[in-house]
Structure 1
Amino acid sequence: MSPSAVQHATKTIRLTSAWRSPARSLSIATARSRSDSRSLAPFPRRSIQTATKWRPVQVLDEWVAKEARPISLRQLMVFGRSLTEQRLISSANYVRTELPTRIAHRIRDMQRLPYVVVTNPHISDVYDLYYNAFDMFRRVKEIKTLEENERFCQEIARMLRAHLSVIPKLAMGILECSGLMEQRELDRFMNTILRSRISRRVIAEQHLALTETFNSPWFSPGAKLSEGEFIGEVFLKCIARDVIERCGTAVQALARSANGPDVQIPEIRITGHMEASFPYILSHLEYIIGELLRNSVQAVIEHHARSKKNQGRPPPPIEVTLCEAQQHVIIRVSDQGGGIPRDILPYLWSFSKGPKSAQRLENLTQVPLMAATLQELRVDGNFSGLQDGKAGPTPPSYAHARAHDGSLTSLSTRPPHLRLGMGLPLSRVYAEYWAGSLELHSLEGYGVDAFLQISKLGNKNEQLATRATMDSL
């Protein structure tokens, strides 16, 4: 490597103390000596500012030593059902200490990535976002008044907006680094950091929603919220059939927009336990169901169009079966879209690998912000299929979320035909977050069966990475 390349690599790494961890500390001299054997060729040559403020690693160590305190949907419901000023302030202080703890763990994960991975500009940008958020939240003093809570909520909302760029940046960084780490390690890192992102947004948005409820003119402090309402972001009675019907109509509108008005759209049929319901974060369920139905609808359209014998016939329907048991609800989505191609099947749940990685990377450059919600997919400038009364009533999650700037608020326009190749792995992260599961079974030449299992009681803690599992990375 030439002296100029070595100098560029040394500048790019930005080796402040923030990048050093007890397990893997690299000095500038060590970085220079290793630069001969580590190529930066896969990364776009982009100048990164070297004037980074001093970040004492001891501060991070103190927060990493703390364990995150996991919560369940039931805890969120019970805590917020009888909302008082004292409970709201208690919620603020939980968020005040929990956010920097959870962010600190993810910063340490990034510090332990190999040298050539942390130099990636996208990973580096995410690191800066995380460290700035950590540095801001760790300095917030104990909240004692409603006025202090209002100022705190403004900071939370600002952070949520700023971090809408995290998913596309992470995805691009992981794809660009796919040859520099094992696929299994990259995917494990991505799953951990995305699950943690969900956890932070859940507790942040829950507090914003509780504050919004407390400040509403109709709310009486201490009064119990009635059944069927939201408690913060938790929808107490999430009826699976209603969500599927709403998402199905939206997905059909997306398919019509992406494939043209003359395309034959498959019918979505729902059978089984039609009244199955459970408490849930509605945007999480909408995203998972939306992605499963999008994949099925598009597969059926393409498979039906390829077969000459199908000319003049309507495409086969997509069958959605609801099964309600004592402790969980299973949603099966079955299509006749020809199954998953054999070359894609091994990479179905991977963020970092696949035969279409180059196309995914190109598409991601067109999505600077991503909330990971169904609502961010737009048709003609409106929320997909959810406008002008064509798709039935406005979904509660959208109406409920408009009052504050959280990840439910779409701040970007994502074309409906733009495939990012991360819908299924991200849907599995969402499903497993509340101790559920998502599995797919492909019948080559016929179709796919997807099985989504959801904990019905809401008593399962969020699935977070512990310090022990992080240390094993």
Structure 2
Amino acid sequence: MKQTGVSLRYMMEFGSTPTDKNLLISAQFLHKELPIRIARRAIELQTLPYALSQKPAILKVRDWYLDSFRDLRSFPEIKDKINELEFTEIIKMIKVRHNNVVPTMALGIQQLKKSLGPKVDYKDLDEIHQFLDRFYMSRIGIRMLIGQHVALHDRNPPPDCVGYIHTKMSPLEVARSASEDARSICLREYGSAPDINIYGDPDFTFPYVPAHLHLMVFELVKNSLRAVQEQFMDLDKIAPPVRIIVADGLEDVTIKVSDEGGGIPRSGLPKIFTYLYSTAQNPLDEQVDELGTSNVATMAGYGYGIPISRLYARYFGGDLQIISMEGYGTDAYLHLSRLGDSQEPLP
């Protein structure tokens, strides 16, 4: 069955009056839409190349999807407020069930890499890479729809918030808070951290999902801090600051994160966006059978931060580009669409 995309603007306008009638319409839409999206992912999980579908971690994820599909399909038609509230509890539970999908998938990919051995060329794993892009993009959409519906039940929403969407979000504020988070992790891991300077109009706001922006800026700043820190740690020079510039155009809001951390060779740039590669030591080794459910964000994850950040940017019509000057530093450009009327890109 066909999936139905939703735009940020639609979610915002629809959710701005969360009457019982609107919540009912929203629940009826999700009751029909979520099983369609979940079914597509479940089928893909069963038909992956290189016997990836047989890996224990992937089977676990597939079972979560099948359980959620069953829960949704066995839920009766939603006719009144009581059904709607029961349905909301079910989708809340589904969202929690899927909390650890990303680390579990990462573990599955690792199990695959182990079984393929060092001889594999990651260019050959293109199919898997495309599958993961579709899979994670779809997951962002499902979690956004569920989260948005659940949040509309909040009796005292924060000012200017419609569910997950902040109608007057200050990108500068979000960038500041995300970079402080990244900096404190850097301090914890290295004992020191470069400064971060932020430039832009502090009064500028636009509608967006702060949690998404926080995640993207956090990832970019964390990478920059790590590059600068490792470049300057053993030298007695003062580490140059990481610069964040927020520009508000008519169509796009662009956030640029610049560092002087030595850059990335051009041959390494394509690897930044793959899920099968991380320069860091893998924090997710097989010992962590509980799937690393610790909430400690590490400085260098399982190499998923950048490709997943790009999906978050694209989800609402933006993009992420990374330009590097080897021997000097890296600039990351995060483009966010200002119009909010681009449809979800449904894989």
- Whether the TM-score (by the shorter chain) exceeds 0.5 is yes
Partner of 1:299: 227
Match of 1:279 among 203, 207, 211: 207
Distance across 1 between alignment mates of 2:111 and 2:265: 24
Distance across 2 between alignment mates of 1:464 and 1:287: 21
Partner of 1:211: 153
Q: What's the CA shift string for 1:316-362, capped at 9, x where partnerless?
A: 11111122111111111100111125674341111124566x73542
Distance across 2 between alignment mates of 1:122 and 1:116: 12
CA offset at residue 177 of structure 1?
Answer: 2.3
Alpha-carbon distance change, 364 to 294 in structure 1, aligned in 2, over 3 angstroms: farther
Partner of 1:414: 296
SS in 2 for 1:157: helix
Partner of 1:153: 88
Distance across 1 between alignment mates of 2:261 and 2:92: 41
SS in 2 for 1:87: helix
Alpha-carbon distance change, 364 to 286 in structure 1, aligned in 2, over 3 angstroms: farther
AA matched with 1:443 = M
Match of 1:140 among 50, 75, 88: 75
Partner of 1:248: 179
Distance across 2 between alignment mates of 1:302 and 1:115: 36
AA matched with 1:151 = E
**Would you say 1:334 and 2:258 are equivalent positions?**
yes
Match of 1:349 among 260, 273, 282: 273
Q: Which has the larger radius of gyration?
A: 1
TM-score normalised by structure 1 residue count: 0.68
Match of 1:183 among 125, 136, 144: 125
Q: Which moved more, 1:320-329 or 1:173-182?
A: 173-182
TM-score normalised by structure 2 residue count: 0.91
Q: Which moved more, 1:337-346 or 1:133-142?
A: 337-346
Q: What's the CA shift string for 1:147-171, capped at 9, x where partnerless?
A: 2222212111111111112111111
Partner of 2:136: 194
Q: How does 1:42-81 map to 2 (within 5 A)?
A: 66-81=1-16
Partner of 1:52: none
SS in 2 for 1:321: strand
Partner of 1:258: 189
Any stretches of 5+ residues in structure 1 without a counterpart?
Answer: 1-65, 220-224, 371-411, 466-473
Q: CA contact under 8 A between 1:195 and 1:433: conserved in structure 2?
A: yes
Distance across 2 between alignment mates of 1:123 and 1:188: 16
Alpha-carbon distance change, 344 to 167 in structure 1, aligned in 2, over 3 angstroms: same
Distance across 2 between alignment mates of 1:315 and 1:366: 38
Partner of 1:324: 248
Q: Which moved more, 1:104-113 or 1:74-83?
A: 104-113
Q: CA contact under 8 A between 2:226 and 2:299: conserved in structure 1?
A: no
CA offset at residue 414 of structure 1?
Answer: 2.0
Partner of 1:26: none
CA offset at residue 136 of structure 1?
Answer: 1.1
**Would you say 1:103 and 2:38 are equivalent positions?**
yes
Partner of 2:285: 362
Q: CA contact under 8 A between 2:277 and 2:303: conserved in structure 1?
A: no
Partner of 1:61: none
SS in 1 for 2:233: helix
CA offset at residue 364 of structure 1?
Answer: 9.0
Distance across 1 between alignment mates of 2:7 and 2:202: 26
Distance across 2 between alignment mates of 1:84 and 1:342: 53
CA offset at residue 114 of structure 1?
Answer: 3.2
Q: What's the CA shift string for 1:61-84, capped at 9, x where partnerless?
A: xxxxx1111001100111111221
Partner of 1:388: none
SS in 2 for 1:450: strand
AA matched with 2:291 = P
Q: Which moved more, 1:97-106 or 1:149-158?
A: 149-158
Aligned residue pairs total: 340
Alpha-carbon distance change, 366 to 299 in structure 1, aligned in 2, over 3 angstroms: farther
Partner of 2:337: 455
CA offset at residue 204 of structure 1?
Answer: 0.5
Alpha-carbon distance change, 185 to 245 in structure 1, aligned in 2, over 3 angstroms: same
Q: CA contact under 8 A between 1:174 and 1:186: conserved in structure 2?
A: no
Match of 2:321 among 434, 439, 443: 439
